[in-house]
Amino acid sequence: MSAQTEEAATRSAPRAGKGGAPPAPGTARRRDRAVPYLLILPAAVFTVLLLGWIMVQNGLLSFQNLNRRQLIRRVTEWTGFDNYSETLGNEEFWRVTLRSVVFTGVNVVLIMAIGCLIGLLLARLGATMRLLLSFGLVLAWAMPTVAATTVFQWLFAQRFGVVNHVLDQLGWHSMADYNWTSGQFSTFFVITVLIVWQSVPFVAINLYAATTTIPKELYEAASLDGAGVWKRFTSVTFPFLKPFFFATTFLEVIWIFKAFTQVFVINEGGPDRLTETLPVYAFVEGMNNQHFGMGAAISILTILILIGLTAYYLRLVLKQEEDEL
């Protein structure tokens, strides 16, 4: 037998397993399937230990009557579901919940609309202008939340704010000393502008990246068929962007609903607690009013409401995809 024949026979022969027996057919396949799970196992364990333990402690706290007296005496008073029943029976909780849902809906609609327009603009700009605009978007997105909120407090300040000064120079002299945090709607306006300004870059860059996956041949075919700008968008661009659009909307709903820093730092939920959302409401009840068990119960209910909203949204998305199929 020649050397080439022996080498070919060696390559074609199955590798011996334990005891010289060939390995089981599914062993290599199972090993390949397990590799991704083994890679994410350390991060998953760390996440469960870091966040799961906090969630467990918060859940246990929600079943206790814990205030300053219990802290000083170091006693634990279990009250069962009293905190939950008291919270659910409080009209203020439901007003704050409705306010949070409306606040989230308005912000998400504005963010997605403006972000989509800027994302489509990035796709049509030249390389230089696209780089400059992307750089500005990344700077706005990367700014720390507390720093950005402080800047907006200065911009909308009553006496020395830039916004009031500009409006006064434009002829709206009644706005020279306007207090933007004196009313519910004006305070929410400032918070909404801040949150939209912070969130639009993520949506714009994400959707611009999605446009780069659209084959140019489809646009050329649509142009040959006489399709206009709107027709090309509805028949070519939006079908490709739809998965990214739904995923980004899902993330924005979560981020806006749980927004705390912007709402609290601007006016601490004022005036008269009229701009409190559920995260701020839980913090005020738990920390400011020293009702720690009540605050924990409100935070758990906030998580459950958010899970319900996201589940409803995902159900709508899945149903729409099934209808299209």
Give residue 113's pLDDT.
93
**Spatial distance between the Cα atoms of 213 and 22, rounded to a whole number of angstroms:** 44
pTM for the whole structure:
0.80
Write out pLDDT tens, residues 271-298. 888 999 999 999 998 888 888 888 999 9
- Between the CA atoms of 56, 62, 65 and 68, what dihedral angle is there, to the nearest 10 degrees? 70
Please check the confidence at residue 32 and state whether its pLDDT lies above 90: no
Q: How many helices (H) and strands (E) does the chain have?
A: 16, 0
Is 152 exposed, middle or buried, given 0-12, 13-18 or 19+ CB atoms closer than 10 A? buried
Residue 123 included in any domain: yes
Give residue 28's pLDDT.
66
Residue 151 included in any domain: yes
Residue 41 included in any domain: no
Give residue 243's pLDDT.
81
Residue 98 included in any domain: yes
Contact 17, 24 (CB under 8 A): yes
What letter does residue 198 receive in the DSSP assignment? H
Write out pLDDT tens, residues 252-264. 998 999 899 999 9
Please report, as a single letter, which amino acid is at residue 59.
Answer: G
Cα-based distances in Å from 299 to 33, 78, 84, 295, 319: 38, 18, 11, 6, 30
Helix (H) or strand (E) holding 59: helix 53-61
Write out pLDDT tens, residues 181-198. 999 999 999 999 999 999
Name the residue range of residue 290's domain: 85-324
- Give the total number of structural domains in the chain: 1
Helix (H) or strand (E) holding 226: none
Please report, as a single letter, which amino acid is at residue 160.
Answer: F
Residue 270 included in any domain: yes
* Residue 269, both tokens: 């939920």
Residue 63 included in any domain: no
DSSP for 277-318, please give it.
-HHHHHHIIIIIS--HHHHHHHHHHHHHHHHHHHHHHHHHHH
Mean pLDDT of 70-86: 83
Largest CA distance in the chain: 102
3-state helix, strand, coil in the chain (%, to 5): 75, 0, 20
Strand partners, 64: 78
Model confidence at 115, in pLDDT bands (50, 70, 90)? very high
Residue 70 included in any domain: no
Can you tell me whether residue 78 is helix, strand or coil?
strand
Write out pLDDT tens, residues 203-251. 999 989 888 888 888 877 877 777 777 888 878 888 888 888 888 888 8
Residue 3 included in any domain: no
The CATH number of the domain holding residue 233 is 1.10.3720.10
Hey, which of 33-42, 60-69, 151-160 has the most confident mean pLDDT? 151-160
